[in-house]
């Protein structure tokens, strides 16, 4: 069976990616997994004067917020696939998005990885977003970058 991994970050652009994924996956009756990755945020710049207990609480709160947001993204994305008569698997992970997408694609033996050219990142100085650029260089799988 043809397997497709769709990476999304909940941005408007990533939902265009979902629509492209549906156009490809539906006629192939492909197995689709939707992945969202909450980006790890280093706290060393913000931690001056915080006790280790406070740092731990701050990190835990950030993870919980990221998990809640990611669940909402996955629920919304899954609903779009279901509206188009398709079932999907969903996956939430925490880490560096580009690295995690590549790892999941390789371990899951996907035939195609689909992601947007840019997402929620604030910097737009690159032709490709930093995540899509990273995946383009590290992925061993076929890749569709939706612009």
**What are the domain boundaries of the chain?**
3-146
Count the Cβ atoms, other than its own, within 10 Å of residue 56: 11
What is the rounded distance in angstroms from the CA atom of residue 102 to the CA atom of residue 83?
A: 28
Q: Is the pLDDT of residue 45 over 70?
A: no
Q: Is the pLDDT of residue 122 over 70?
A: no
Dihedral over alpha carbons 35, 41, 42, 43 (to 10 degrees): -150
Give CATH for domain 3-146: 3.40.50.620
pLDDT of 46 reads 54
Which residues does residue 95 pair with via DSSP β-bridges, in sequence order?
39
Please answer whether residues 101 and 35 qualify as being in contact, where contact means their C-beta atoms are separated by less than 8 angstroms: yes
What is the rounded distance in angstroms from the CA atom of residue 119 to the CA atom of residue 11?
A: 6
Structure confidence by residue, pLDDT tens digits, 22-32: 999 999 999 99
What pTM was estimated for this model as a whole?
Answer: 0.85
pLDDT of 56 reads 75
Helix spans in the chain (H): 12-28, 52-83, 97-107, 130-138
Count the Cβ atoms, other than its own, within 10 Å of residue 88: 23
- Computed over every residue of the chain, the mean pLDDT equals 86
């Amino acid at each position: 069976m043809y397997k497709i991994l769709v990476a999304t970050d909940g941005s408007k652009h990533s939902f265009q990616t979902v629509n492209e994924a549906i156009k490809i996956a539906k006629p192939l009756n492909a197995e689709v997994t939707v992945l969202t990755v909450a980006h790890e945020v280093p706290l060393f710049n913000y931690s001056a004067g915080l006790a280790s207990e406070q740092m731990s609480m701050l990190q835990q709160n950030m993870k919980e917020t990221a998990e809640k947001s990611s669940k909402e993204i996955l629920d919304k994305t899954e609903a779009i696939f279901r509206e188009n008569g398709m079932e999907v698997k969903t996956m939430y992970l925490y880490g560096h998005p580009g690295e995690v997408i590549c790892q999941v694609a390789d371990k899951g033996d996907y035939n195609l990885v689909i992601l947007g050219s840019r997402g929620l990142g604030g910097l737009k100085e690159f032709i490709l977003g930093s995540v899509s650029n990273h995946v383009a260089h590290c992925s061993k799988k076929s890749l569709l970058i939706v612009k």
